Amino acid sequence: MSATDAPAVADRLGDFVAALDRAGELTRIAHPVAARLELCEISDRVMKSPGGGSALLFEHVVRDDGTRSPYPVAINLFGSMRRMAMALGVTDLDAVGRRITELLELKVPDGLVAKLALIPRLLEVAKFPPRVRGGTPPCQATVWRDDEVDLSRLPVLTCWPDDGGPYITLPMVVSRDPVRGLRNVGMYRVQVLGPRTLAMHWQRHKVGAAHWRVMAERGETMPVCIAIGADPASIYAASAPLPPTVDEFLFAGFLRGAPVSLARAVTNDLEVPAEAEFVIEGYIDPGEALVTEGPFGDHTGFYSEADLYPAVHVTAITTRRDPLYATTIVGRPPMEDFYLGHATERIFLPLLRLTVPEIVDYHMPAEGIFHNLVFVSIDKQYPGQAQKVMNALWGQGLMSLAKVIVVLDRDVNVRDPAEAWWVALNNIDPERDVRFTMGPIDVLDHASRAFTYGSKMGIDATRKWPEEGFARTWPSRITMDPTTRARVDALWPALGIAAHGRNGGRGAAGGGNGGAR
User: Residue 90 and residue 78: Cα distance in Å, rounded?
Assistant: 13
The one catalytic residue among 298, 361, 433, 460: 298
Q: What is the dihedral of CA 494, 498, 500, 505, to 10 degrees?
A: -70
Residue type, 393: L
∠ CA 51-56-59, nearest 5°, is 170
Hey, which bits of 265-399 come out as E strands?
271-273, 278-284, 291-293, 296-297, 303-304, 307-309, 311-319, 325-326, 359-363, 374-378
Told to judge if 298 belongs to the known catalytic residues of this protein, a careful annotator would answer yes
Is the separation of the CB atoms in 36 and 73 below 8 Å? no
User: Residue 163 and residue 140: Cα distance in Å, rounded?
Assistant: 31
Q: How far is CA 148 from the centre of its chain?
A: 34
Is the separation of the CB atoms in 74 and 13 below 8 Å? yes
Q: How far is CA 326 from the centre of its chain?
A: 16
Q: How many residues does the chain have?
A: 517
Distance of CA 13 to CAs 75, 168, 188, Å? Answer: 11, 17, 19
Query: Annotated active-site positions, please?
Result: 298
